[in-house]
Amino acid sequence: MARKTKAEAALTRDRIVTCARQVFSREGVTNTSLETVAKEAGVTRGAVYWHFRDKADLFMAVRQQTGTLLRFDDFRTGDALERLEAGLQAALDRLRTDRQALETYEVMLWKCEYVGAFASVRQDLMSASSLFLTEVTEFYGEAVRMKLVSANLDPALAARETLCFYAGLLKLWLADENGVTVRAEVRQLITQHVAGRRLQKAV
Amino acid sequence: MARKTKAEAALTRDRIVTCARQVFSREGVTNTSLETVAKEAGVTRGAVYWHFRDKADLFMAVRQQTGTLLRFDDFRTGDALERLEAGLQAALDRLRTDRQALETYEVMLWKCEYVGAFASVRQDLMSASSLFLTEVTEFYGEAVRMKLVSANLDPALAARETLCFYAGLLKLWLADENGVTVRAEVRQLITQHVAGRRLQKAV
DNA sequence: AGATTTACATACAGACATGTATGTAAATCT
DNA sequence: AGATTTACATACATGTCTGTATGTAAATCT
């Protein structure tokens, strides 16, 4: 086979990752054979095994390609609660508009078994959760200091509640293709979740 | 092979389901072979195929064996918010004390790919979510009528938020084996989630 | 320009899982 | 009591997937 240039090879690798994501989201991670991914990408398993050690390695590449949904540090305006809400809204917006992100999270939340080599990914997700807690606890701490919320709100506990809300929202949003449970009203849901903490709720 | 009595056969079936649950939770649904399940149960694949059509069918039996976690109608005392909280607390209590329930939900939330024959299970879960919404909307509706919560709380929306919270809580609780994110404080978390809606929060 | 990698394709070997077909002795039915 | 199921075990036939080894022509290096 004619050797490809470095740039071409990078494109090939990227195509493999992209196709892997699509096949994973259609057939589930465990059920997809690397043969299927290769065919979809217009290469043979040889190419896949040259770029990735095994399916787990490929899966990591899929995750890395889309990166993380939630990035609070993109939002620097408004009070703590507004920035928190903006971050959450942006995450769900991305799911709505970015097909790649949607597929990746569909795979991670519904089409993957966290066993064997994938058990470590679950640990990753839990580490991400801890990070989420740290950041959101900060937000609520600031909210307390600024008297945006009740003085006896426990920031750490509130952050944990928000974490649960967010985790469940992501999972349900993905499964709710017809919009019967949460998809139709995500925006309101998020708004309400953080507004619910604010002092003097209307009336 | 000596034919078993009907009662014995029922026991065999039950053993197969029990072992399936354990193996599923160890190795993931897709990765477990019916051979492994059979061996664990002290039978051959013949027995498994006699009692169940295929792995998906066996999976349904696993789900049915442990039943549903959440049953609000067990709680009839207290106001609407108290009954709601009691239901949620009981669900998490069951996870804590009932190993079978824990394994089953571990499988459903972390060790299963909802693809092919299992896609229908995801629909089931969403149907269950709709049911949850109906019941919890009722609770919040009653809470509004009884002036337990703000008059302009939207029961349907609040129920959706609670659904997300509960879904995320279940998933995170299962993964949080070290109690760093939510497991250590589930009780407080649930209490806070519903208490947060109540009018006149302390101070 | 020659030597060396690189980026794959091809080929090979083995493991494993699935579904079905068939056998069978004892329960259960009539 | 005989006929018929039942509750499995055993055997078979087949497909599929994995990982690795090997080949190769062109990039890239020196």
A13-72 pLDDT, tens digit per residue, is: 999 999 999 999 999 999 999 999 999 999 999 999 999 999 999 999 999 999 999 999
CA of B18 to C1' of D8 (A): 18
The answer to whether A191 and A169 are in contact (CB under 8 A) is no
Average the pLDDT over B149-156 and give the result: 96
Average of per-residue pLDDT values in chain B: 96
Residue A201 with chain B: CB contacts under 8 Å: 150
pLDDT tens column, B8-54: 999 999 999 999 999 999 999 999 999 999 999 999 999 999 999 99
Q: Which residues of chain A have pLDDT under 70?
A: 200-203
At residue B155, does pLDDT exceed 90?
yes
Average the pLDDT over B98-112 and give the result: 98
At residue B171, does pLDDT exceed 60?
yes
CA distance B141 to chain A (A): 17
Those nucleotides of strand C lying less than 7 Å from any protein Cβ are 5-11, 16-28
Reported pTM: 0.95
* A29 touching B (Cβ < 8 Å): yes
> What's the burial of B76, exposed, middle or buried (CB within 10 Å: 0-12/13-18/19+)?
exposed
Average the pLDDT over B73-82 and give the result: 95
Residue A196 DSSP one-character state: T
Average the pLDDT over B66-84 and give the result: 96
Average the pLDDT over B152-172 and give the result: 98
B128 → chain A, closest CA residue: A181
Query: Tokens at residue B55, please?
Result: 């792995």
**CB atoms inside a 10 Å sphere around CB B147:** 9
At residue B200, does pLDDT exceed 70?
no
Residue A112 DSSP one-character state: -
Rounded Cα–Cα distance for residues A61 and A41 (Å): 15
Confidence of residue B203 (pLDDT cuts 50, 70, 90): very low
